[in-house]
Amino acid sequence: MDYIAQGFGEAIRLLAGFDSEVYRIIALSLLVSTSATVVASLIFVPLGVYLGIKPFRGKRIFSRTVYTFMSIPSVIVGLVVALLLARRGPFGYLRLLYTPAAMIIAQTILVIPLILGLTYNLSKNRGTPLEKVSRTLGGNRLDSVILIIRELKIDILVNVATAFSRAISEVGAVMIVGGNIKGQTRVMTTAISMMNSMGDYPMAIALGIILLVVSFGIHSLIYSYSQEEE
Amino acid sequence: MEIRLIGTRKKYRNTMVLDIDELTVPGGMITGVTGSNGAGKTTLLHIIAGLDDSFEGEVTYDGLPISNHIRESMTLVFQKPYLFRRTVYDNIAYPLQIRNKSKEKIGKEVLWAAESLGIEDLLKKKGHQLSGGEAQKVAMARALSIRPSLLLLDEPTSNLDPDSTLRMEGAIRRYNHETGATIVIITHNMEQAERLCHNQIKLELGRMI
Amino acid sequence: MKKTLTYVLLLLLVLGTVSGCAPKTEAPAEAPANDPAEEPAAESEPVVEESIILATTTSTQDSGLLDFLLPIFTEETGIEVKTIAVGTGNALQMGRDGEADVLLVHAKADELKLVEEGHGTVRNDVMYNDFVLVGPADGEIIYGNDIGAALAAINEKGLQFVSRGDDSGTHKKELGLWKALSIEPAGEWYIEAGAGMGDVLKIADERQGYTLTDRATYLALKDTLQLEVVVEGDEGLFNQYGIIPVNPNKGDMINEAGALKFMDWLISEEGQELISQFGVEEYGEPLFIPNYGK
């Protein structure tokens, strides 16, 4: 039992002393997941809003497809991306496998359905009345999309935070396309998994603490922001 | 702006909700639309507003079919105000902002619209912090700020106390008088219709009576 | 209050990120002091354009040997080594597919076959370590040097045994040992984990059962386990590591030059010397015995 307590003690020491390896791992996790979330959001939030208010055929099939992909297992995304980026694969010449870029690509693909689906849903339910008002005041579709994004920005942010959580907590995709290479593609989740396997509990616990802090922290930030807006 | 509807019919799940052979809304006047619930008043208004395009028949505006230009010179105020989560000023300014008007012009027009409705003191308040009556006035001001030549109103005074109701009617009358805009107003209140409107369209079960 | 907390959080993360982007080179704990002062910034090193993908086994990585050796190699040659740790079977397949530049595994028979089939340029001995049978200190198998006898006893008495079950070098070694006894292990007592050595040791620990492990991984995890070495020193437990540069005819993405440099470094006097030093300080004995050319 005291190896747990000892682990905790070491963990605090690693964090407080700004151990460079631990922080490198943390920084990479944040970089990869934030980039993926930002890229996915910049494109698919406006798209999701637009599709939510635009009438088109096959809306139901669209919803169903997107919702299905929302819960796609991360290992599958990792596998598909790895197959595409492998040396023998169609994009092997880009030499992206086992790099942070590949990890960002995989996580972006992972969160796109989530962002698109959640935003589409939000727009369909709460954006439609806004779209009507905008139209009756002379706005075109672009005006409506901008209006909806501004009016529902808290809800959109919550969705984005959800997507970020999914990204930063997943281990399957980044493990397969990144390879958990020390100093290069090792992120919190892959490191925790490996360190547990190696019995290096202090590091695993240290990273686990940070992972929790980040997860809770992001949502807490959004919550404060939403309270301010009231 | 004169509006004409010819052979306008709309079905909703096997029920004919609107069935009009010929209807003219005279330009420059305040026209009331009355009738019991489900008579088709809102449907008619939405069709005129260009919100609904699944109907049979023809709608013309001074003889022309609907276009972006025409859309930009008409506004509609819904029964529920649907104000934006920003200041009253920004709410009223919205139609001007999306038409890329200059900052000075926006300032002038917003003030004018606010004064018409007597809500200058509310300009700094946030849209979601107003009472029902205040919100309705802001919604009206928002619809007026670009000085539309066609103003469509869906029961604009239903949430107002008698005093505010008369003020709103006054604002509507003044606007019509000052700009010669065509105004179509749905109302449940027969006395209001008598007071305010130059003429009335009475609907029952989708048809004119 | 919430606002302050938020800003403090952000500040910490920023500070952490900044320090995380600090120099890549850290003084390896057991390295001989051969470079005077370390360059304070990794940026002043040769820009690492060259990189090789090294496919190796999980047990090799878990031992920590590579974490110790590779930074030294990179500093001296400017070649970045991307270590992908998978099961032996997988590593060999990566060699066949040309997805790696060099392989470091411990399955000599399969390695030679790989070179024979033309997938690898050459194969060289690098080092060896040994396997040991570990199990509960107060268990039914008493300490000794006869692995055959121990395994036969385990089979007969149906004692808990955890197998790697993942086609790894360790797994192949284990299967070879059973085969030599003409035993086909089966039954509730025989667990096939399909996991890396570290995890398998933990499972064995959990169930206070037996497992075959390489000494290095066991030593690395010893403090966290309640398992002891029960059989060691048997000739059949010898574990030879080999290095194979992948045949460049597989495609122009194979970094043959880099792979050869790595191999040459590992089998050089310096490389071999470093290998023999690894683990001495921490465990009192080297985890691997270099044996190129012996």
Segments making up each domain of chain C, as ranges = 50-128+240-290, 129-238
**CATH assignment at residue A172:** 1.10.3720.10
Reduced to 3 states (helix: H, G, I; strand: E, B; else coil), residue C274 is helix
- Tens-digit pLDDT profile for residues A64-108: 999 999 989 999 999 999 999 988 889 988 888 889 999 999 999
Smallest Cβ–Cβ distance between A87 and the set C5, C62, C253 belongs to: C253
For chain C, state the CA radius of gyration: 21
CA distance to partner chain A, nearest, from residue C117 (Å): 19
Q: Which amino acid is at C65?
A: L
The list of chain B residues with pLDDT below 50 reads none
Say how many domains are in chain A.
1
- Residue A161: pLDDT above 60? yes
Write the burial class of residue A189 (CB in 10 Å: 0-12 exposed, 13-18 middle, 19+ buried): buried
Cβ within 8 Å, pair A132-B142: no
The number of beta carbons lying within 10 Å of the beta carbon of residue C121 is: 18
**Is the minimum CB–CB distance between A132 and chain B shorter than 8 Å?**
yes
Q: Which of residues 189-218 of C touch A (CB under 8 A)?
A: 196, 198-199, 202
**Arithmetic mean of pLDDT, A130-146:** 93
Closest to A111 in 3D by CA, of A42, A175, A64: A42
Q: List subunits contacting chain A, requiring 3 or more Cβ pairs under 8 Å.
A: B, C
Write out chain B residues lying below 8 Å of A134, CB-based. 98
Reduced to 3 states (helix: H, G, I; strand: E, B; else coil), residue C193 is coil
Return the CATH number of C50-128+240-290, one of 3.40.1260.10, 3.90.1260.10, 3.40.190.10, 1.20.1250.20: 3.40.190.10
Question: Do C50-128+240-290 and C129-238 agree at the fold level?
Answer: yes
The number of beta carbons lying within 10 Å of the beta carbon of residue C287 is: 24
For residue A218, give Cα distances in angstroms to A114, A163, A215, B198, C5: 17, 11, 6, 59, 12
CA distance to partner chain C, nearest, from residue A87 (Å): 6
Reduced to 3 states (helix: H, G, I; strand: E, B; else coil), residue C124 is strand
For residue C213, give Cα distances in angstroms to A201, B100, C133, C291: 21, 74, 6, 20
Residue A93 backbone phi and psi in degrees, to 5: -65, -15
* DSSP H helical ranges for A54-127: 59-70, 74-85, 100-122
Write out chain A residues lying below 8 Å of C223, CB-based. 3, 199
Cβ within 8 Å, pair A199-C198: yes
Helix, strand, coil distribution of chain C in percent, nearest 5: 45, 20, 35
Cβ within 8 Å, pair C17-A27: yes
**Is the minimum CB–CB distance between C96 and chain A shorter than 8 Å?**
no
The number of beta carbons lying within 10 Å of the beta carbon of residue B198 is: 12
A in contact with C (at least 3 C-beta pairs within 8 A): yes
Rounded-to-integer distance, Cα C161 and Cα C135, Å: 9
- Residue A230: pLDDT above 70? no
pLDDT, position C49: 65
Cβ within 8 Å, pair A220-C23: no
Closest to C188 in 3D by CA, of C225, C145, C222, C159: C159
Number of CB pairs, chain A paired with chain C, less than 8 A apart: 95
pLDDT band at A125; cut points 50, 70, 90: very high
Instruction: Give pLDDT tens digits along chain C (294 positions).
Output: 455 555 665 666 565 555 555 443 333 333 333 344 443 444 444 445 689 999 998 888 878 899 999 999 999 999 999 999 988 888 999 999 999 999 999 888 899 999 999 999 999 999 998 899 999 988 888 899 999 999 999 999 999 999 988 878 888 889 999 999 999 998 889 998 888 888 899 889 888 999 999 888 888 888 888 999 999 988 888 888 999 999 999 888 899 999 999 999 999 999 999 999 998 888 888 888 899 987
Q: Which residues contact B31 (CB under 8 A, 6 or more apart)?
A: B25, B182, B183, B184, B185, B197, B198, B199, B200, B201
Fold of C129-238: D-Maltodextrin-Binding Protein; domain 2 (3.40.190)
- Residue A55: pLDDT above 70? yes
**Is the minimum CB–CB distance between B99 and chain A shorter than 8 Å?**
yes
Write out chain A residues lying below 8 Å of C45, CB-based. none
Cβ within 8 Å, pair B78-A132: yes
- E strands, B79-166, are 150-154
Smallest Cβ–Cβ distance between C220 and the set A198, A217, A221 belongs to: A198
Cβ within 8 Å, pair A88-C199: no
Query: Which of C3, C4, C13, C51 to mutate: most A Cβ within 10 Å?
Result: C13
**Do the Cβ atoms of B57 and B4 come closer than 8 Å?**
no
Q: Which of residues 162-181 of B touch A (CB under 8 A)?
A: none
Cβ within 8 Å, pair A132-B98: no
Cβ within 8 Å, pair A137-B49: no
pLDDT, position C12: 60
Q: Which residues contact C32 (CB under 8 A, 6 or more apart)?
A: C274, C277
**Is the minimum CB–CB distance between C263 and chain A shorter than 8 Å?**
no
pLDDT, position C14: 61
Minimal-distance CA residue of chain A relative to C61? A198
- Residue A11: pLDDT above 50? yes
| Domains in chain B: ranges and CATH | 1-73+150-209 (3.40.50.300), 81-147 (no CATH)
End-to-end Cα, chain B, rounded Å: 24
**Is the minimum CB–CB distance between C29 and chain A shorter than 8 Å?**
no
Cβ within 8 Å, pair B72-A137: no
Minimal-distance CA residue of chain A relative to B53? A55
Closest to C239 in 3D by CA, of C208, C203, C215, C205: C215
**Is the minimum CB–CB distance between B112 and chain A shorter than 8 Å?**
no
Rounded-to-integer distance, Cα A152 and Cα A226, Å: 11
Write out chain B residues lying below 8 Å of A136, CB-based. 49, 51, 74-78, 143, 152
- Tens-digit pLDDT profile for residues A166-218: 999 999 999 999 988 888 899 999 999 888 777 777 778 888 888 888 888 88
pLDDT, position C154: 93
Query: Which of B87, B92, B94 to mutate: most A Cβ within 10 Å?
Result: B94
Cβ within 8 Å, pair A197-C84: no
B in contact with A (at least 3 C-beta pairs within 8 A): yes
Closest to C147 in 3D by CA, of C211, C232, C71: C232
- E strands, B71-154, are 74-77, 150-154
Reduced to 3 states (helix: H, G, I; strand: E, B; else coil), residue B11 is strand
Closest to C272 in 3D by CA, of C141, C124, C140, C120: C124
**Is the minimum CB–CB distance between A130 and chain B shorter than 8 Å?**
yes
**Which residue segment(s) compose the domain that A207 sits in?**
2-229
pLDDT, position C233: 85
pLDDT, position A92: 86
Helix, strand, coil distribution of chain A in percent, nearest 5: 80, 0, 20
A94 DSSP assignment: G
| Strands B182-186 vs B30-34: parallel, antiparallel or unpaired | parallel
